[in-house]
Structure 1
Amino acid sequence: MAEDPLNNLDRRILHLLQVDARGATDTNIASETDVTGTTVHNRIEQLEEEGIILGYNPEINYERAGYPMRVLFICSTELSERSEMAQKALEVRGVVNVREMLAGEENLHVEVVAESTSDVKESTQQLDELGLRTITSNILAEEHVQPWNHFHQEMAGEPDSLPDDDSTEG
């Protein structure tokens, strides 16, 4: 089994970023983790460089933004073409999320937002033209997201020794 790439400080930082990435400053996170702001800054940079933090995305209420239709298409494609088809699906008008499933017939889940049913039909046609076979589609009512509990649970455990890496430029 591979060595855990995260220590408890990293987990704490990730949890706090998941709770409020926009409002989380190095200073705020430092006060929650008992290290300096410079240490937090350096750790976040390291997590970004290692590809653990991929980006910071706003959570959007599409309905309030004028796009009340949210549809989840469960699609099928050849497993050998799944990643390529996922990238192509992202180019379809209205697609905001594509999830690749590890195996099985229902191996691409495509989320579309739209103003109207005619826009959904256009997205459906474009997905079909890509060669994706739609198995089912569902109108999404609500989505509930939370920070991954594992990061939070680790915070309650015994802390790792947390070296203060203020000496690292950052």
Structure 2
Amino acid sequence: MTESLDATDWAILAELQRDGRMAFTELARRVNLSASATKERVRRLEAAGVIAGYRAEVDLERTGYPVLAVVRLKYPGPGTRHEPLRRLLEERSEVLECLRTTGDDCYVLKVTTRSMAHLEEIVDALAQFGSTTTNLVLSRTLPFRGPREPRANTVG
């Protein structure tokens, strides 16, 4: 987006991150715009790629995947091909997210499984690519909330 986001854009983003299915009339009421102006703003944010899509938040336990873990993968070294790992990640629906990172670990993955044995199967599949470290998630202290409008007095 060539121009920066204004306070109204940020308000729209905040509301849609809370409820992506909100009617334009309700969204307009919450951000103090007309429904047509709100709809135009949303379309502009979509066209600019700021709003990249809409998703349902799914309760993992209720879908039969109560185990949530973070798996860190350290690749063996320079020159290692990453394409075989990418193929495995595409095939395994248990991998919810994968981030390529700097530091000791090359990848950080969020994984959900039906059981500890199922998690062990996933970790074993990943271990063919390098050493792994696995942490079980006990609870979500701060669920994903998306970006918010920067404050003028924040550092960084």
Shorter-chain TM-score range? 0.7 to 0.9
TM-score (structure 1 length as normaliser): 0.72
The change in CA–CA distance for 1:32 and 1:63 in structure 2 (over 3 A counts) is same
Alignment-mate amino acid for residue 116 of structure 1: S
Asked if the contact 2:73–2:126 (Cα under 8 Å) also holds between the matched residues in 1, the reply is: no
Extract unaligned runs of 5+ from structure 2. none
CA RMSD of aligned residues (A): 2.9
Question: Residues 5 and 57 of structure 1: is their aligned pair in 2 closer, same or farther, counting only changes over 3 Å?
Answer: same
Aligned twin of 1:16: 15
The residue number in structure 1 matching 2:73 is 75
Detail structure 1 runs of 4+ shifted over 4 Å in the superposition.
Answer: 78-88
**Displacement of 1:115:** 0.9
For residues 94 and 148 of structure 1, the distance between their equivalents in structure 2, rounded to whole angstroms, comes to 22
Change (3 A) 1:5 1:95: same
Matched positions, count: 149
Q: Which moved more, 1:91-100 or 1:64-73?
A: 91-100
Q: TM-score, normalised by structure 2?
A: 0.78
- Which structure exhibits the higher relative contact order, with contacts defined as CA atoms closer than 8 Å and separated by 6 or more residues? 1
Rate the CA distance shift 1:146–1:115 in 2: closer, same or farther, 3 A: closer
Matched, 1:94 2:94: yes
SS of 1:72's equivalent in the other structure is: strand
Report the 3-state secondary structure (helix = DSSP H, G, I; strand = E; otherwise coil) of the residue aligned with 2:11: helix
- Whether the 8 Å contact between 1:73 and 1:138 is mirrored in structure 2 is yes
